[in-house]
C-alpha cells in the first residue's frame, strides 16, 4: 500500500525499507510509524513509502492479526492439552488438530521466518509457547527438506507434543531453568519417556510418541534417555531436536541477556558436526541466513546498517551497508552482528 508521507497515520507499519533520494537507508521495513518516524522521513525528503494494509496485515515482514490469533490459540490449546495430560495422563487428539491445523495454514503464507522468530522471542516464553514454536519451526524445516504436506504436518505435530511428558514432572522441577540439583536433572530427563507413554495413551501414533522419547538423543550417543546414536534416531526426531535446540538457545536464561541470532545459529551449525543431524541443521542455517538479507542490524561497534550479502566463504560474516559505506565482516574480524531488527 503506497501512501504519501503526509497521509501516514500513527501505528502504520512500513512494508518496505525506506531510502532517501540519494539511496541512503532511513528506516527498515517493519518500523511502526510514530511522530518521530514521520519527522525523519520528512527531513530526508522522502515523499512516498510502502506500508502494510490498514485493518489487516499480509506483509512478509510482520505478523498479521490472523497469524497472531492462530499463535495465541495454539498456545492456549497446548495449555489445555497439557493440563488434561496432567490430570488424566492423556489428551484428546482432536483438540491438537483443531489448534495446529489453522496455525500451519497461516504458516504456509508467512515466509519471513526470521521476523516471525524475532517477534516471538520478545514474548515471555513459557513451556506452552516453546512447544508451539517447536511445532512451527519443525514444520518449516520439514518443508525446506522437501517432505510432503502430510509429512510436514506430522513432523510439526511431533514438535508440538515433544514436551508433553513434562506434565507428569513435579512443577517445582519443570518450572526451574537454573540451580537444578543432580536429582532434579534426572527427574526432568524422565519427561522424554513419560511423553512417549502419554502420547500412546492418547492417540494411535507410535511415531509421534517415539519422537517425544528421542528428541534429546544425540548422534554421537551423548544424549538421553537411551544414549542412541545416529542410525537409531528417527528422522522426525532429528528435525524436532534441531528446532528445540535452536529455540532453547534463543530463549537463553532468565538471568542473562538474550543471545544474538547469529551466535545461536552458529552454535547450532557447530552441533551439526556430530550431535545434531546435519541435514535439518543445514536447512535451518541456509534458510535463516538467506532470510537475513535486507534486514536491519546493529553491529557490536554500535553502527546500524542493512545486510546486503552473505559471504559464501563465511556465512556468519555478511556484508553490511552502513550509510554510504560497506562493512565486510569477513575482513573486519572484530565486527559482528549484535542484533537483528524485525
The whole domain housing 163 covers 65-290
Res. 56: pLDDT tops 70? no
How far apart CA 159 and CA 215 sit, in angstroms, is 9
Assess if residue 38 is contained within a domain.
yes
Whether 28 and 13 have beta carbons less than 8 Å apart is answered as no
Q: What is the pLDDT of residues 81-126, one digit of tens each?
A: 999 999 999 999 999 999 999 999 888 877 778 878 887 876 656 8
Res. 168: pLDDT tops 60? yes
Indicate whether 224 and 309 sit together in one domain.
Answer: no
Q: What is the pLDDT of residues 70-79, one digit of tens each?
A: 888 899 999 9
175 or 279: which leads in pLDDT: 279
Indicate whether 256 and 151 sit together in one domain.
Answer: yes
Q: Give which of 99, 114, 66 is closest to 284, Cα–Cα.
A: 114
pLDDT, residue 119, reads: 79
Task: Please give the grid coordinates belonging to residue 342.
Answer: 524485525
Task: Please give the grid coordinates belonging to residue 283.
Answer: 536447512
Indicate whether 148 and 260 sit together in one domain.
Answer: yes
Assess if residue 56 is contained within a domain.
no
How far apart CA 23 and CA 48 sit, in angstroms, is 14
Indicate whether 13 and 106 sit together in one domain.
Answer: no
CA angle (283 as vertex; 277, 286 as ends), nearest 5:
130
Q: What is the pLDDT of residues 18-31, one digit of tens each?
A: 888 787 888 988 88
Count of domains for the chain: 3
pLDDT, residue 59, reads: 40
Provide CB contacts within 8 A for 113, sequence distance 6+: 137, 140, 287, 288, 291
Q: What is the pLDDT of residues 146-167, one digit of tens each?
A: 999 999 999 999 999 999 999 9
Indicate whether 137 and 180 sit together in one domain.
Answer: yes
Q: What is the pLDDT of residues 287-334, one digit of tens each?
A: 999 889 888 999 999 999 999 999 888 899 999 999 989 999 999 989
How far apart CA 177 and CA 174 sit, in angstroms, is 8
Res. 58: pLDDT tops 60? no
Q: Give which of 37, 126, 138 is closest to 75, Cα–Cα.
A: 126
Provide CB contacts within 8 A for 21, sequence distance 6+: 44, 45, 46
How far apart CA 310 and CA 286 sit, in angstroms, is 10
pLDDT, residue 252, reads: 72
How far apart CA 105 and CA 12 sit, in angstroms, is 26
Assess if residue 224 is contained within a domain.
yes
Q: What is the percent of the chain where pLDDT is above 90?
A: 60
How crowded is the C-beta side of 333, counted as CA atoms within 13 Å? Answer: 0
Indicate whether 205 and 219 sit together in one domain.
Answer: yes
Amino acid at each position: 500500500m503506497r501512501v504519501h508521507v503526509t497521509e501516514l497515520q500513527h501505528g502504520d507499519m512500513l512494508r518496505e525499507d525506506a531510502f532517501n533520494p540519494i539511496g541512503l537507508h532511513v528506516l527498515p521495513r517493519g518500523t511502526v510509524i510514530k511522530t518521530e518516524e514521520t519527522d525523519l522521513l520528512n527531513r530526508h525528503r522522502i515523499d512516498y513509502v510502502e506500508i502494510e494494509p490498514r485493518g489487516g496485515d499480509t506483509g512478509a515482514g510482520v505478523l498479521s492479526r490472523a497469524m497472531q490469533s492462530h499463535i495465541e490459540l495454539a498456545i492456549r490449546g497446548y495449555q489445555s492439552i497439557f493440563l488434561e495430560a496432567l490430570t488424566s495422563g492423556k489428551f484428546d487428539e482432536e483438540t491438537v488438530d483443531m489448534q495446529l491445523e489453522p496455525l500451519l495454514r497461516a504458516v504456509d503464507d508467512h515466509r519471513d521466518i526470521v521476523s516471525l522468530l524475532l517477534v516471538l522471542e520478545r514474548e515471555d516464553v513459557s513451556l506452552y509457547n516453546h512447544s508451539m514454536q517447536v511445532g512451527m519451526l519443525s514444520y518449516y524445516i520439514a518443508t525446506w527438506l522437501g517432505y510432503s504436506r502430510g509429512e510436514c504436518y506430522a513432523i510439526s505435530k511431533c514438535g508440538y507434543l515433544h514436551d508433553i511428558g513434562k506434565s507428569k514432572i513435579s512443577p517445582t522441577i519443570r518450572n526451574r531453568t537454573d540451580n537444578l540439583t543432580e536429582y532434579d536433572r534426572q527427574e526432568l530427563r524422565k519427561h522424554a519417556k513419560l511423553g512417549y507413554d502419554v502420547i500412546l495413551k492418547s492417540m494411535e501414533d507410535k511415531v509421534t510418541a517415539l519422537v517425544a522419547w528421542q528428541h534429546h538423543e544425540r548422534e554421537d550417543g551423548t544424549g538421553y534417555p537411551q544414549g542412541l546414536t545416529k542410525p537409531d534416531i528417527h528422522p522426525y526426531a532429528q528435525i524436532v531436536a534441531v528446532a528445540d535446540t535452536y529455540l532453547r538457545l534463543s530463549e537463553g536464561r532468565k538471568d542473562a541477556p538474550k543471545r544474538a541470532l547469529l551466535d545461536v545459529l552458529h552454535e547450532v551449525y557447530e552441533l551439526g558436526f556430530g550431535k545434531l543431524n546435519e541435514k535439518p541443521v543445514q536447512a535451518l542455517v541456509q534458510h535463516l541466513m538467506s532470510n537475513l538479507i535486507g534486514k536491519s542490524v546493529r553491529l557490536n561497534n554500535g553502527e546500524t546498517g542493512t545486510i546486503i550479502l552473505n559471504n559464501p566463504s563465511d556465512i556468519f560474516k555478511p556484508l553490511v551497508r552502513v550509510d554510504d559505506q560497506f562493512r565486510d565482516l569477513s575482513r573486519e574480524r572484530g565486527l559482528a552482528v549484535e542484533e537483528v531488527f524485525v
